[in-house]
Structure 1
């Protein structure tokens, strides 16, 4: 009886080996599915970037508005007989320019009447 049990255990182990550790095992399938999902995420990012570049190319081929916009923003160009006004935002006073108030400065003598 022990020999029959041992034979069945060995037979089950031999049948389970390809399922868990063989060429098409569950572990390899799990790893490949993880790699597929990572690659699909990378592909989605690249597709979005390609769509953006494709839209830029179409804009540049079809009209001068995109070319003019790029010339203005990236190269600082203006049209002939056009006046350029550059507006600077007023910055708030720098906190480091004013020394912080110390406790000795904040204590004032009491008025004596």
Structure 2
């Protein structure tokens, strides 16, 4: 009976060693799970960005209003017959 108890104790210690220090141990698994959570968050952000870009591409292909808005805001263009006013910022005064 005593040798059976010793055998079980040795097996328990061997399994505990593999669990905490061996290949594929618990701390490594926890670290990988955290990496997966972080990557899923990054993927969600990129997916939202992709959806916004898809919507913008669709809008640019279908309508002229998006193109006109982009020309006005990014290139500073105006329509024929419009008057352009440049107002100085308060910070430059």
Which TM-score band applies after superposition, normalised by the shorter structure? 0.7 to 0.9
Tell me how far 1:2 sits from its aligned partner.
Answer: 7.5
Structure with max Cα Rg: 1
Tell me how far 1:17 sits from its aligned partner.
Answer: 2.3
Work out whether 1:11 is the aligned partner of 2:5.
no
- Aligned-residue RMSD, C-alpha: 2.5
Q: Which has the higher contact order (CA 8 A, sep 6+)?
A: 2
Unpaired stretches in structure 2, ≥5 consecutive residues:
none
More helix by share: 2
TM-score w.r.t. the length of structure 1 is 0.65
Unpaired stretches in structure 1, ≥5 consecutive residues:
95-113
- 1:57 match: 57
Tell me how far 1:78 sits from its aligned partner.
Answer: 0.9
Aligned length: 92
- 1:77 match: 77
TM-score w.r.t. the length of structure 2 is 0.77
